[in-house]
Amino acid sequence: MEVTALKSAVFDTPIPYPETVEAATAHKISLKDINVRFSSKQGVRSVLENVNLNINAGEFVCLVGPSGCGKSTLLNVIAGLHRADSGSALKDGKAITGPGPDRAVIFQEAALFPWLSAVQNVEFALKSSIRDKKARRAKALEYLGMVHLARFAASYPHELSGGMRQRVAIARALALNPDILLMDEPFAALDAQTRDILLIEVQRIWQETGKTIIFVTHNVLEAVALGDRVLCMGVRPGCIRQEITVALPRPRAVEEPETARLAKRIMTHLRSEIDKIVQEESDHAARELALAGDGDPDRLRHTTANTMGDGI
Amino acid sequence: MGFRREWWSSYLFPGPSEILKTLGADLRDGTLPIAVKISLTRIGLGFVTAMLLGSITGILMGALPVVHRAVSPLALGLQTLPSICWLPLAVIWFGLSERAILFVTVMGALLAVSIAVSDGIRNIPPLYLRAASMMGARGPRLYAEVLLPAALPAIISGAKQGWAFAWRSLMAGELLSVSTGSLGLGQTLMRGRDLNDMSQVLAVMLVLVLIGVVADRLVFSRLERIVRQRWGLAVA
The 10s digit of each residue's pLDDT in A46-71 is 888 888 888 888 899 999 888 778 88
B28 to chain A, minimum CA–CA distance in Å?
Answer: 47
The CA distance from A69 to A232, in Å, is 10
A29-40 and A212-217: which strand pairing? unpaired
Nearest to B65 among A4, A115, A176 (CB): A4
A306 to chain B, minimum CA–CA distance in Å?
Answer: 31
* The pLDDT value given to residue A182: 92
Residue B53: pLDDT band with limits 50, 70, 90: very high
| B134/A6 touch (CB, cutoff 8 Å), yes or no | no
* The pLDDT value given to residue A311: 37
Is some CB atom of chain A closer than 8 A to the CB atom of B130? yes
Q: A41 CB contacts (<8 Å, ≥6 apart)?
A: none
Type of residue numbered B88: P
| A109/B127 touch (CB, cutoff 8 Å), yes or no | yes
The CA distance from A259 to A261, in Å, is 6
- Please report, for chain B, the start and end positions of each structural domain, with discontinuous segments joined by +: 16-230
Chain A residues whose C-beta is within 8 A of a chain B C-beta are 1-6, 9-10, 79, 81, 98-101, 103-105, 107, 109, 111-115, 124-125, 127-128, 156-159, 172, 176
Domain at A3-102+178-310, CATH homologous superfamily: P-loop containing nucleotide triphosphate hydrolases (3.40.50.300)
Are A220 and A64 in contact by the 8 Å Cβ rule? The answer is yes
Average pLDDT over residues A213-227: 90
Are A124 and A116 in contact by the 8 Å Cβ rule? The answer is yes
| A107/B150 touch (CB, cutoff 8 Å), yes or no | no
Contact list, B235 vs chain A (CB under 8 Å): none
The CA distance from A171 to B215, in Å, is 42
Is some CB atom of chain A closer than 8 A to the CB atom of B144? no
The CA distance from A240 to A163, in Å, is 30
Least confidently predicted of A87-96, A125-134, B172-181, B218-227: B172-181
| Terminal C-alpha separation, chain A | 24
Each residue of B136-167: pLDDT tens digit?
777 788 888 888 888 888 888 888 888 888 88
Contact list, A111 vs chain B (CB under 8 Å): 127-128, 130-131
* The pLDDT value given to residue A122: 92
* Local structure of residue B143 (DSSP, 8 states): I
| A124/B124 touch (CB, cutoff 8 Å), yes or no | no
Nearest to B129 among A1, A128, A158 (CB): A1
Are B220 and B228 in contact by the 8 Å Cβ rule? The answer is no
Above 60 in pLDDT, residue A18?
A: no
* Local structure of residue B85 (DSSP, 8 states): G
Determine what percent of chain A is predicted with pLDDT higher than 90.
12
The CA distance from A304 to A301, in Å, is 5
| B131/A128 touch (CB, cutoff 8 Å), yes or no | no
Q: Which of B129, B134, B148, B226 to mutate to test the interface with A (most CBs of A within 10 A)?
A: B134
Contact list, B124 vs chain A (CB under 8 Å): 1
Q: Which of residues B96 and B234 earns the better pLDDT score?
A: B96
* The pLDDT value given to residue A309: 39
Type of residue numbered A235: V
Above 80 in pLDDT, residue A117?
A: yes
DSSP states along A236-292: TTBEEEEEEE----SS--TTSHHHHHHHHHHHHHHHHHHHHHHHHHHHHHHHHHHHH
Are B66 and A6 in contact by the 8 Å Cβ rule? The answer is no
Q: Which of B133, B142, B143, B152 to mutate to test the interface with A (most CBs of A within 10 A)?
A: B133
- Mean pLDDT is highest, among A75-84, A88-97, B81-90, for A75-84
| B121/A176 touch (CB, cutoff 8 Å), yes or no | no
Above 50 in pLDDT, residue A22?
A: no
A75 to chain B, minimum CA–CA distance in Å?
Answer: 13
| A3/B121 touch (CB, cutoff 8 Å), yes or no | yes
* The pLDDT value given to residue A278: 78
* The pLDDT value given to residue A294: 54
The CA distance from B10 to B153, in Å, is 47
Q: Which of residues B6 and B127 earns the better pLDDT score?
A: B127
Average pLDDT over residues B88-93: 84
* The pLDDT value given to residue A216: 93
Tell me which CATH code domain B16-230 carries.
1.10.3720.10
Which pTM does this prediction carry?
A: 0.73
Residue A13: pLDDT band with limits 50, 70, 90: very low
Average pLDDT over residues A152-158: 90
* The pLDDT value given to residue A300: 45
The CA distance from A116 to A124, in Å, is 9
B147: closest chain A residue by CA: A3
Nearest to A104 among B134, B138, B145 (CB): B134
Each residue of A193-212: pLDDT tens digit?
888 888 888 898 898 888 89
* The pLDDT value given to residue B11: 65
The pLDDT mean for chain A works out to 80
Residue A11: pLDDT band with limits 50, 70, 90: very low
Query: Other CB atoms closer than 10 Å to residue B26's CB: what's the count?
Result: 21
Above 50 in pLDDT, residue A310?
A: no
Above 80 in pLDDT, residue A146?
A: yes
What length does chain B have? 236
Least confidently predicted of A110-124, A289-303, B170-184: A289-303
The CA distance from B131 to A81, in Å, is 10
B164 burial class (0-12, 13-18, 19+ CB within 10 angstroms)? middle
* The pLDDT value given to residue B15: 74
Nearest to A105 among B134, B149, B150 (CB): B134
* The pLDDT value given to residue B193: 80
Above 50 in pLDDT, residue A15?
A: no
Each residue of B173-196: pLDDT tens digit?
888 776 656 778 888 888 788 887
Nearest to B230 among A79, A105, A156 (CB): A156
